[in-house]
Every structure is written in C-alpha cells, then in structure tokens.
Structure 1
Amino acid sequence: MSDNRTTARIACLLALVCLPTFAWAAPTPQALSEQLAEHAEPCGRFEQSRHLADLDTTLESRGIFRRDGERLIWETQSPIEDRVVLGPNNPDLPPQLQTILPIFDGLLAGNWQALSRHFTLHLEGTLSAWHADLAPKDAAVRSRLTRLAVGGGQQVETIKLDFDNGDALTLSLSPHECATTGPAGASSHDADGKYVDGKSP
C-alpha cells in the first residue's frame, strides 16, 4: 500500500511539473500571424528612442503613423514636426530606412511568412504576451541590421533594432484612431509616395 501511495505522489508531482510547460508553450508563428493580422490597425502612435553611436547621444521623439498600402507614413509631432513617407519607390530614403520598410510592414500587418524569408525566428511567451528575436538570414539585411527584437500581445507593442554601425532604435507602439481630414486638410501624394503638399517629406 505504501509503495502505491508513493507511486501516486510521484505521478502527481510529475503532472504538476509538466503542466506549466504545456500551458505556457510558445505560440506558433502561424497563430501569432493570424492574431496580428486580425487586430492590425491602419494607424497608431509611437514613442521613439534612437541612439546615435557616432555622437554617443540618444534622441527621443513621438508622433503617429499610418499604413497606406505599401507605404508607411511616419509623422513626428515632438520635439519637432516632421513627416516621412516610407515607400518602396522613394529614392530619398536613407539606406537604413529602405532596409527596415518591408520589416515594419510585415510586423504591423502580421505577415510573419514574409519575415521568415529574411529572418530566423525565435518566439517565446503566449499569444497575450509574446516576445520574438529575429536574426537576419540574408546578406542584404545583415549588412544593415544586426538584430531585431519584437514584443506585444494582440498587436505589436515594442520594436528594437540594432544596426551594423552601432546605432539602435527602440519603438513603443500603441493604438491611435486615424485622423479624419477634409479636402482642406488632406495631403496628396505623387507616384513615388512622396508628399506634394508643400511640406518636406
């Protein structure tokens, strides 16, 4: 009888040890992709911290962004007002921004399949609180970007990028309603995705 009780206790202990491992199993890329795609919003708010290695300084800024097809409209509101259209046909973008444009689009839209072509993905946590490290696989991305870390829940909430020149970029993202502008406040774009409303892109 004593042996049976001991065996039962051991079985219970093993079950308790194994249960959290099963319950906390990391989500699959497919499940995360579906969740992000379902909750993807066209607009959002950002807080940005950018470390410039050559100047040994960090710049803080905040503003709003809007996804527009293949373009990402990035509008800084503080400490200065600025607006950049991240588009695939915009030759004026710095090389670093040209490199991360498809990455941002894939992250915000939940297109992990596209990201997996350029990165090796290591995913941890749960669907409600997940973290992913993405290591560049191809030389084109690796020549500009050394590390990408992403985290969030139903949506992407944090993005951290380390560049090959020592620069680093940290973004905190949150939901934000898209502004509704009438004809007087609307901005137009040319075929390259640049603003042509008289403001500097």
Structure 2
Amino acid sequence: MAVLLIGAWSAASAWAASWTLDDLMGQLGKVRSGEARFVEHRKVQQLERTLVYSGRLSFAAPDTLVRETLQPRPEKMTAEGRNLTVTLGGRTRTMALDASPEAMAMVEAIRGTLSGDRAAVERHFETTLDGSSDRWTLDLVPRDVRLRGQIPRVTMQGRRAQLREVRILMGDGDESTMKIEPITAPASAP
C-alpha cells in the first residue's frame, strides 16, 4: 500500500512539475474576452485604514482592458492598444502608454497575462510560475531596475484560464490586492 501511495504521489508531482509557463499562457490565450467584478484592498503606509475599491473589469483580446471603479467614486481606465484613457469626475484624459514605462509595464502585466502573450509579459518582467493548472501563482519582478524600485513584485493567482487575484507590492511598502470574480463565462477562441 505504501508503495502505491508513493508511486501515485511521485506521478502527481511529476505532472505538476511538467506544467510550464507555456502551458499557462496557452490556456489563457484561448480566452478571447471576459467580464468580472473586482474588490481591491489598498494598504497605504500613511493611512490607518485600508482603502476599498470595487467595480467591473472587462477584457477583449488581444489588447483591450477596462477597469471601471464604481465605489467609492466612479472612475474608468481603458487600455486599448498603445493608449490609456482615464475618466474621472466627467473629465477624460488620454495618454500614450509609451510615455510612461511604469504604466506600460503594469498594463502589460495584466493584459499580457490575460491574453496569454508570454513575450509581452517577459519583455517587462522576470517570471516564476508555481502550482498547477487548477491553482497557479505567477510572480512578476520588473526587469527595469528603476521600475523595480517603485514596484518590486506583482503576483497573480488563478485557476485554469481565469485570473482570480492580482497583488501589487509597492517600493514604499504600500500594497494592493485585487480579488476578481468572473461575471460571465469567458469566450474562447474556436
């Protein structure tokens, strides 16, 4: 009996170890669009309380990501192609992502992961993948030393082809954790 258990454990360990970043990106790349609710908790060093934001996220491959914050105040950020548009209080501002390497890297961390674009993610981050298809963790450490001083690490967690959490650690000790709950079944490529 012990030999069977050891054999089964070894086989399971070998299967989990053979699961790679290419496997994850392949799974994620099949999802063409999706919508989700989010709740984000931001711990800010200068504040005694945690800030809480909630709203909706939507994604359309390969390059459209929309974050619409509904609480505590309406705000909308749309990353589409090489542009980022922010709407707050009735005012809209659009900027080229190329003008802000920090914004470009953060958008590519999420958008590149959601679209399964390994090259886009690895252009900005060193990657470490742990877990299996059923429960994975992807750690991203910025390649750019200046950016790493501002954002030392982004950690994403998910299940199969669904991103379920994004945690961003800031260089000043602030931290943001966004929990994501899908609203609709993701649309997959044929």
- After TM superposition, the score normalised by the length of structure 1 is 0.70
Aligned to 2:86: none
Does 1:75 find its partner at 2:68?
Answer: yes
- Radius of gyration: which is bigger? 1
Q: Distance in 1 between matches of 2:152 and 2:119?
A: 20
Question: Equivalent pairs: percent with the same residue?
Answer: 25
- Measure, in 2, the Cα distance between the counterparts of 1:175 and 1:17: 32
Provide the secondary structure at the position in 2 that maps to 1:141. helix
- Cα shift readout 1:14-49 (whole Å, capped 9, x = no counterpart): 635522321332521111001011134243221111
Q: Deviations over 1:89-128 (max 9, x none)?
A: 4339998645412222112212223212222222111112
Aligned residues: 170
2:88: which partner in 1? none
Partner of 1:48: 40
Distance 2:157 2:72 in 1: 26
User: Are 1:112 and 2:118 counterparts?
Assistant: yes
Equivalent residue for 1:135, pick from 132, 141, 146: 141
Distance in 2 between residues matched to 1:45 and 1:21, nearest whole Å: 34
CA deviations on 1:119-170 (whole Å, 9 max, x unpaired) are: 2222111112111222222224313210111111121111101011222111
Aligned alpha-carbon RMSD (Å): 3.0
Q: Which residue of 2 aligns with 1:91?
A: 95
- Please name the residue that 1:62 is paired with: 54
Q: Is the 8 A contact 1:99 1:144 kept in 2?
A: no
Partner of 2:151: 145
1:121 and 2:119 matched: no
Scaled by the length of structure 2, what TM-score is found? Answer: 0.73
Task: Pick the structure with more strand per residue.
Answer: 2
1:158 aligns with 2:165: yes
Is the contact between residue 142 and residue 152 of structure 2 (CA under 8 Å) also seen in structure 1? yes
